[in-house]
Copies of this chain bind each other. A is one copy, B any other.
Amino acid sequence: MLDKVLNARSVAIIGASKNKTKRGYQAINTLRADGYEGEIYPVNPKEDMILGLHCYKDITEIKSPVDLALITTPARTIPGILRKCGEKKVAGAIIIAGGFRELGDRGKELEREVVAAAKETGVRLIGPNTSGMINLKTNMNLVGIKNPPKGNIALLCQSGNMALTLITEATVCKHEGFTYYVGVGNESDIKFHEYLEFFKNDPDTKSILMYVEGMSQGRKFLQEAYETSTKKPIILLKSGRSAAGKKSAGSHTGSLAGIGEVAKRAYERAGIIVIENSDELFPVAETLSSQPPIKNNSIAILADGGGHATIAADLLTDYGINLPELSDKTKEKLSKILPEAASLVNPVDVAGGTDADPSLFADCARIILKDPNVGGLLVVGLFGGYGIRFEKSLAIGEEAAAHRFGAMVKKKNKPIFVHSLYSSQKSHALDLLRHYDIPVHDSLDISCKCVASLCKYGNYLKSYHAKTNFVFNWGARAKKEGRDIIENVRKEGRSALLEHEAKQLIKLHGAPTSVGQVAKTQEEAWQIAKNIKENVVLKIVSPDILHKSDACGVKLNLSSEKEIIKGFQQIIKSAKIYNPKADIRGVLVAPMAQKGLEIIIGTKIDEQFGPVIMYGLGGIMVEIMKDVTFWVLPVSSTSSRKMLRDTHSSILLDGVRGQKAYDKRSLRKLISMCSELIESYPEIEEMDLNPVILYEQGLDVVDARIILKDQE
């Protein structure tokens, strides 16, 4: 769908100029200098010729078809220009100008107008407030970055400066480059997920590199990423954590976890390789676009000195990667070619064995990569610098090793990574490695991150089919009785369900909960209580009293008639004091729950990702230790297994200090029930099951709160 836009065969430059300092001049100049394969049409009512090209007064004057318009004029002119573009049936427009929503209300209004004009005319928009886009396959450079390197990475960026950084980095490494660059700008029309879909289908793009500050349709993006990441890797840096953290701190559940955590977990579930450190962004993308994923999460280290090996082993261990012991056979073979002092465990230390002939590195690599426990090899230390550091002639041996490394990677389908502190110096051996697409870095941190990313991607490819995707069939599994409850609440003009209504709704979908009955009088309360074999709890029922405890509206553990009558009276009295105008519907009489493990489950609608669910152990664990996890819905009973593992305190579910294990199966079912419920009733804004009491057998939702969305 975006084909005509991103692969445009003709571009109109609206705001074309003869002034060399203007974007409208530079754009044309760059297109021609870079050898754009399509047609270029300058548009400016005041000019006749620009850079030897005929200049049109108006885009509608152009006779031939125009795929894309680059608009370089100021913000206020955009709506009018877009209508002209629509008339000309232009497929897309890039709006460079800033001055929209980032400037506040006035800008927002203008942006709305621009989006409306686009919708109306069918012109798709890149931007506004973007540095532009480049299609390196057709040399359509609409940004003006000089000599961007070509390659197989698609670059999708929410900051022009970050794009410049990454392109500059690629230029300096002179190794891998790009198929496309798109600056999404304000993302006001074409969204992240649409670009992603385009890159998924582009045969020349091997990996997708993204810098994101925030996105407007996170759920659609997640689903698209889920579908893309099994075909090609997506590498993403998310910034704006600190600002977003502040922003989200206002809402109750939001303050428990930075929104950053929700996003990171969701991205990873969609198979995206999330990068935290901007230095690692390009190297990881380069690695993932050229190397086979590591299938067994295991790596061997080959070193010519202790320090680098130790640091690398620490880092890889931190990343959760195995450094398996080598097989006896492997050790035996290594012992035959290495000195006695060499270490044959993993990391392997050659202990001077390569000093006289660095081609021995290749012999070691061959032996190690044959070991079935080993999924890849990281060489750390001085390789590539023996000819520089020691004796020029040693370079020959290094070059021989480099050729053999290249052949090995191809044959074994196991990646080799080289850390060399001579990476930035002239070393033919290292250039050979680069030729064979072997990642070479002088930073141990970056080398290890590249290893970790290939492991992560390999692990994902093995497990993705078991993961829930992000598709929500709104309303599909709603029940008539459930709809009735919600409609009744709406009819009364309320947004909060009463406790027993909420409990009825979740019970309808299979959640174990004692709903209880509402008593209007004290006698009725006693009649209900009499038929409950456990002691009972009394709770005020009033749409005007949501925080029942604050209004002294809860009495626990009552049994005798006297207690119940007295409890009823006290609750009604307190409620009237708390809020004299409260509409009191009665008192809920429900059985007291047995003691068990307190769990808290909640859902809310996240700004970016839509419905999310929170899970944690109640009490101190959630309030003090903030030991909770947030997942984007849906969550199936199977995938909730992993969700439970996300909190430290979930260990308590297995029974500790001699206790029996709790019923995790029921808990997982409850979580998938919540997912189903939110999917069934799109009216729900927030749901809190707090507490849920978990037992060795079964569970009991003791309190439930459901809030509906504001009606439009």
A-side interface residues toward B, CB under 8 Å? Answer: 21, 98-99, 102-103, 146, 157-162, 164-165, 168-169, 172, 211, 213, 237, 239-243, 245, 277-279, 304-308, 310-311, 313-314, 317-318, 341, 351, 381-382, 389, 391, 421-422, 424-425, 443-446, 620, 623-627, 648-649, 651-652, 656-657
Contacts and interface: CB of A to CB of B under 8 A. Distances in A.
Contacts of A237: 311
Contact of A239 (B103, B245, B307, B421): B307
A669 to B, nearest CB: 24
Given A424-B172, A648-B625, A317 B242 contact: yes
Contact of A652 (B157, B162, B310, B620): B620
A389 B305 CA distance: 41
B161 A381 contact: yes
Contacts of A157: 307
B421 A165 contact: yes
Nearest to A323: B242
A168 B239 contact: no
B278 A443 contact: yes
Contact of A624 (B444, B624, B648): B648
A239 B311 contact: yes
26 contacts: A157-B307, A159-B305, A159-B310, A160-B305, A161-B305, A161-B421, A162-B308, A164-B382, A165-B307, A165-B421, A169-B421, A172-B424, A213-B306, A213-B307, A239-B310, A239-B311, A240-B310, A241-B318, A242-B313, A242-B314, A243-B313, A278-B443, A279-B444, A279-B446, A620-B649, A620-B652
Given A165-B421, A239-B311, A242-B313, A623 B305 contact: no
Contacts of A310: 159, 213, 239-240, 243
B241 A314 contact: yes
Contact of A168 (B169, B304, B421, B445): B421
Contact of A314 (B239, B382, B446): B239
B307 A211 contact: yes
A279 B445 contact: yes
Given A169-B421, A172-B424, 16 more contacts: A99-B341, A164-B421, A165-B308, A165-B421, A168-B421, A213-B306, A239-B311, A240-B310, A242-B313, A277-B445, A278-B443, A278-B444, A278-B445, A279-B446, A620-B656, A623-B656
A157 B304 CA distance: 17
Return the 4 tightest CB-CB contacts between A and B, nearest first: A159-B307, A161-B305, A162-B307, A242-B317
Q: Which of A279, A422, A649, A657 has the most CB of B within 10 A?
A: A279
Nearest to A419: B165
A557 B351 CA distance: 65
A608 to B, nearest CB: 16
Contact of A240 (B314, B424, B620): B314
Contacts of A162: 307-308, 311
A547 to B, nearest CB: 15
A274 to B, nearest CB: 14
Contacts of A624: 648-649, 651-652, 656
A668 B654 CA distance: 35
Contact of A443 (B279, B306, B422): B279
Contacts of A159: 305-308, 310
A103 B627 CA distance: 46
A625 B625 contact: yes
Given A279-B445, A443-B279, A445-B279, A161 B306 contact: yes
Q: Which of A158, A211, A307, A381 has the most CB of B within 10 A?
A: A307
Q: Which of A103, A305, A656 has the most CB of B within 10 A?
A: A305
Nearest to A391: B21
A116 to B, nearest CB: 23
Nearest to A340: B103
B103 A307 contact: no
B382 A161 contact: yes
Contacts of A165: 307-308, 421
Contacts of A242: 313-314, 317-318
A60 to B, nearest CB: 32
A400 B306 CA distance: 46
Contacts of A305: 159-161
A220 to B, nearest CB: 23
Contacts of A652: 620, 624
Contact of A625 (B102, B277, B649): B649
A625 B241 CA distance: 26
A294 to B, nearest CB: 19
A41 to B, nearest CB: 26
Contacts of A656: 620, 623-624
A620 B243 CA distance: 34
Given A278-B443, A279-B279, A313-B243, A160 B307 contact: yes
A314 B649 CA distance: 28
